[in-house]
Amino acid sequence: MPVTPSSADAAAADVHERQRPEPGTAERPARPQARLALHSEVGDVAEVLRRAFIGDPFIDALFPDPDERPRRARRLFAVQTAFEYLPNGLVEVVDSGDRIVGAALWATPGTPRITRTLSSLRSAPHLVETLGLRRMVSLGAFVRDCARHVPDRPHWYLADLGTTPEARGTGAGGALLRSGLGRADADGLPVHLESSKAENIPIYEKFGFRVTGTVRMADGPELYAMLREPERG
């Protein structure tokens, strides 16, 4: 479980492509491809995820002030990307032209405990500034509740995945999700996530996920813990 709570739900609306044209009616655009993000792209990743999570019940509950929400959400995603997932996990993006239009943050197994601890210490002042000390304290019980549903064996964790509104339906989200799932399958490991939207559960189930439990966020949505076993062959 990463040091900051997450909801992967911006992924679910993005994993299906728009209806493809019939053969001969139009030229099919190039299929989106995921690539590793660069350290210099932290700001771009944060902005993509901020836009992807507009209206998400988890982010809305974290930042109830609508005037402050865009700035604080962007900062939260920047802190997660820079201090947690770039050094200790996997950050992938999808491009359209010269712009990043999709991003995914994954926690991967095998990071030494001391490395995770140091990352937590470096990110702590930024998280307090972003969330507020009172909010950080109140989230402690929620994070502990989420941890009860984390697999007790090595696994991948999908923290955040989303695309910009204009890129939805293009296959960008699906490319990111399939890339991470493929890596987990290659490792022979399960994938864990939390979803804050019950209507997205059937979409995740099509990718092999199943609900393993629920956690209620104080003054916020109910999150559904989900697990996907690795596909063989």
Predicted local confidence at residue 230, as pLDDT: 97
Q: Is 23 within the bounds of a domain?
A: no
Q: How many domains does the chain have?
A: 1
pLDDT in tens, the chain (233 residues): 444 556 666 555 556 544 444 555 555 567 899 999 999 999 999 999 999 999 999 999 999 999 999 999 999 999 999 999 999 999 999 999 999 999 999 999 987 777 777 788 889 899 999 999 888 888 888 888 999 999 999 999 999 999 999 999 999 999 999 999 999 999 999 999 999 889 889 989 999 999 999 999 888 899 999 999 999 86
Indicate whether 104 belongs to any domain: yes
| CA 37 – CA 41 distance, rounded (Å) | 7
Q: How far is CA 136 from CA 106, 129, 132, 133, 142, in A?
A: 22, 10, 6, 5, 10
CA distance 176 to 92: 7
HEC per residue, the chain: CCCCCCCCHHHHHHCCCCCCCCCCCCCCCCCCCEEECCHHHHHHHHHHHHHHCCCCHHHHHHCCCCCCHHHHHHHHHHHHHHHHHHHHEEEEEEEECCEEEEEEEEECCCCCHHHHHHHHHHHHHHHHHHHCHHHHHHHHHHHHHHHCCCCCCCCEEEEEEEECHHHCCCCHHHHHHHHHHHHHHHHCCCEEEEECCHHHHHHHHHCCEEEEEEEECCCCCEEEEEEECCCCC
Q: Looking at the domain assignment, is residue 233 inside a domain?
A: no
Q: Does residue 97 belong to any structural domain of this protein? A: yes
pTM comes to 0.88
9 occurs within a structural domain: no
- Among positive and negative, which fits the CA dihedral 10, 54, 51, 70? negative
Task: Give dist(CA 45, CA 42) in Å, integer.
Answer: 5
Does residue 4 fall inside a structural domain?
A: no
Q: Residue 1 CB: number of other CB atoms within 10 A?
A: 17
Residue 199 lies in a domain: yes
Would you put residue 172 in left (φ > 0), alpha (ψ -120 to 50) or beta?
alpha
| Residue 44: domain span | 32-228
Instruction: Report the CATH number that the domain containing residue 198 is assigned in CATH.
Output: 3.40.630.30
Residue 132: C-alpha distances to residues 62, 80, 150, 224 (Å) = 10, 16, 26, 25
Tokens 């990110």 belong to: 123
Indicate whether 92 belongs to any domain. yes
